[in-house]
Amino acid sequence: MLAISNKELEINEEIRDKEIRVIDVDGTQLGILSSKEALKIAYEKNLDLVKIAPQATPPVCRIMDYGKYCFEQAKREKEAKKNQKVVEIKEIRMSSTIDTHDFNTKVNQAIKFLNSGDKLKVSVRFRKRAVAHPHLGEELLERFKVACAEAGTVEKPAKMEGRSLVMFISPKSSK
């Protein structure tokens, strides 16, 4: 019930306004009543009085089953959360002296990640004196970009970060 506490709707005795516009369970307006009268009507129907629009003048309150409303809200939020896809950033690391078979294996893995909807961080590490030849890493990333072209597009081009050259690839949208 954490999501409901964020809404902070005023219910029943918490409503301190003199006059409120009241809406019945079926959606019909009962008009502008005092909060005591509205609360009395709600209790007669064995329901709650809930302030749904506190910024309006006069504030709008609805007669409803608050427990059922909270349950339905939580259910809707859970359903929305279930349908959303969390995009992860997967990383593929290579060295500037990678061999062709290893390169092809990394490309296949990258295509698999991109097809499952994840973003990709491709980095080429330079060890020791290899830092003096960044063009080798740039050529490698260019080959990688061409190999992954049908599955993804480059989001951020190759850029040196410390001793490694980094490029970001995002999956192509399936629309």
Pair (70, 97) in one structural domain: no
pLDDT at 1: 34
Is pTM beyond 0.75? Reply is no
Share of the chain above pLDDT 90, in %: 21
Structural domain count, the chain: 2
Residue pLDDT, tens place only, 1-22: 333 344 578 888 888 888 999 9
103 and 118 belong to one structural domain: yes
**Both 19 and 74 in a single domain?**
yes
Domain span holding position 145: 89-171
Give the three-class secondary structure for 47.
Answer: coil
Which of 125, 122, 137 shows the shortest CA–CA distance to 163? Answer: 125
Sign of torsion over alpha carbons 30, 32, 38, 41: negative
User: Do 131 and 154 share a domain, yes or no?
Assistant: yes
Distance, in Å, from the CA atom of 145 to the CA atom of 149, rounded to the nearest integer, reads 6
Is 55 a residue whose pLDDT tops 70? yes
One domain, residues 158 and 93: yes
pLDDT digits (tens, 9 = 90+) for 156-172: 888 888 888 899 999 88
Is residue 106 scored above 80 in pLDDT? Answer: yes
72-97: average pLDDT: 85
